Amino acid sequence: MNQPAAPQVTASVPPLTPPSRPGRALIGLALVVPAVIAWIWSYVLPTLSTVARSFQADGLRRPSESAGAGNYEVAFTSGFVGQVGFAVLLSLIPLTVALLAAPLLAVLADRAGRAARLVTRGVLALPLAAYAPVAVYLGRRAEGIENGTLTQDLQSPRAFLVSALAQVTFGLVVAVAATVYLSALRRREPDQRPAPAMLAVGGLLGLGVLAAALQTYTAPYILTGGGPRGDYTATPVFTAAQTSFRTMRLGVGSATSTLLLVLLGLLGLAAVALILATRLRIEFDGWRDRPAAREAESYSGRRPLLVGLTAVALVVVLGVTVWASLPWLRNLSSDTGPLPRGVETSNLFANTWVPPLLSTLVAVTLAALAGFGIGALRPLGRWSELLLVPFAPWLFVGAGPLAIANFERTMEREQLGLFLGLVPPTWLSVPALFAFTLLFRGQHERWRSGGGAGRTLLLPALPMLAVTALLTWLAHAQSPLWATLVGTRPDSLTAPALVTMIASRAFGGGGELPLGLILPLPMLILFVVLFVALMIGYVDRLAIRVGRRSGADAPPVGSGEPVGKVTA
């Protein structure tokens, strides 16, 4: 007798997905909290202190009487508008490079094929690794000395400063801009157009270059001293520092810093508005290189020409960079000679590199955690990027505009001249926060579609930790402003601050400068190796894309919420 077949029961195993919407919202917001605390301590409180100080009478110790708007009147009559105008003048050449030369190089390298693109990325890593503005400017200034007088400065200080700044920053601006343009050119589908991403990247680069020019300090500080007559070559940060710490008019300096913070805040808000409007994101296309659709297009007949043009462009970029850095490179491996009394080479090396490393590790780690909370867990759903808006006014703010408030805070804690005082007072990297948020936002769809968190989120983010940490570390270590303010004793000096002090005497009576101390050869080799490896092995697989795509902002599968298709 035939027995009836037993009914088969199939178990439905739900795919591995992110937590439900309420759970990931709470976790995401919790991960943002440490960054918020660091942001308040590093940016908000110093900003409020700067604004409050700008309305107080001058003096090292804060008096109780109010100065009203008098400090702002002095700031304007002292030429704040002209200082901003001169900073904008300094930005014209870098803007031209970032908006014209760099995208042209990126397009040539992109169309020339994968090998040319990788070589381009490797070469562009060199100007990044060789970032030593103090050494380069001191070397250039030393070459212009005749009988203790800077001849070019007397002839045309503006032309000298603009040309020197353009030569020194040319390779750096090309490297940064061409790198991000290459990521914007990376296609995923044959019909994908990179023009919108290129335009968005160009807008962000333009805002960033302008913000950097407004905060120029090292070039006028070393090359012209703001002179030779009055504040002919002064910038807002240079003027605020000189007014506050040379003439002890901290109220006027704080007024200048406050006005500058307003300008930088507007630029930061414009940047986040552009990011939100274009839905900009960073996607990791995987460790295995997949040739994009453009590789199959009909460029093969012109490829030798494109390869040749790319090679010529790289030779120009590298040639200008090396030529501008020659005075420093010649002294890179030479004997430093005797150092001033109380200064030891090992202590100098530690002061230069260890304090910025400490703040960098904290600042980038907190940025990565917050970026994961916002970009991957998306606590506000499709509106999660709005959590970046409070941080936006400080996106482009460096150490200069907040130097007065941070100096007074360090003095109140009695850390001037101490090792702890050398630690840069920035415990959150806002640019890194934006970068991680955009990266995790770009990987969010792959995670919600069932990809493992380790493969889709953590592995692509680990190299980004290295990229942002190296850039932040090098920038802080090579900045002379904060180290000059807090390094009040010989054993608390950093290499850029020490060599600058030695240069002030050497320019009057001659003598060799120990430029090799600023970025020693072993550190330069280390940065070159790391940047080249990251550029070729990781950054080349990052794609900057804009617009909406399927499911990017939809709730995760299995969360109990309807999943609708969003057209690209």
CA–CA separation, 193 and 177 (whole Å): 19
Q: Which amino acid is at 197?
A: A
Return the closest-CA partner of residue 542 out of 446, 448, 438.
438
| Tally of CA atoms within 13 A in the half-sphere of 241 that contains its CB | 26
Task: Select from 540, 402, 539 the least CA-distant residue to 482.
Answer: 402
| Number of Cβ atoms within 10 Å of the Cβ of 402 | 24
CA distances from 274 to 263, 264, 527 (A): 17, 15, 32
Residue 261: pLDDT band (50, 70, 90) is very high
Name, in order, each residue with C-beta under 8 angstroms of 167's C-beta and a sequence gap of 6 or more: 140, 320, 323, 324
Tens of pLDDT along 34-61?
A: 999 999 999 999 999 999 999 988 754 5
In this predicted structure, which of 74-78, 203-207, 284-288, 404-408 has the lowest mean pLDDT?
284-288
Predicted TM-score (pTM) of the model is 0.87
- 249 in Cβ contact with 240 (< 8 Å): no
Cross-strand pairs, 145? 150
Other Cβ atoms less than 10 A from the Cβ of 199: the count is 15
Q: Quote the CA–CA distance of 237 and 80 in Å, as a whole number.
A: 10
Under 8 Å between Cβ of 181 and 106: yes
Segment 185-205 mean pLDDT: 85
User: Tell me: the pLDDT tens digits for 529-565?
Assistant: 999 999 999 999 999 999 876 344 444 433 334 333 3
Least confident interval from 293-297, 373-377, 464-468: 293-297
pLDDT at 369: 96
For residues 483 and 350, what is the distance between their CA atoms, to the nearest angstrom? 13
3-state SS string for 482-505: HHHHHCCCHHHCCHHHHHHHHHHH
Residues 431-490 pLDDT 10s? 999 999 999 998 887 777 665 666 778 888 899 999 999 999 999 999 889 988 888 788
What is the reported pLDDT for 136? 87
Show Cβ contacts of residue 385 under 8 Å, excluding neighbours closer than 6 positions: 275, 276, 374, 375, 437, 441
Instruction: State the DSSP code for 221.
Output: I
Check residue 268 and give its pLDDT: 97
Query: Is the peptide bond between 228 and the residue preceding it cis, with omega within 30 degrees of 0?
Result: yes
Rounded distance between C-alpha atoms, residue 102 and residue 105, angstroms: 5
Distance between CA 82 and CA 80 in Å, rounded?
A: 5
> Has residue 510 got a pLDDT over 80?
no
Query: Dihedral, CA atoms, 23, 27, 29, 33, nearest 10 degrees?
Result: 160
Q: Where do we find the tokens 């003027």?
A: 239
H-assigned helices in 279-391: 303-329, 345-371
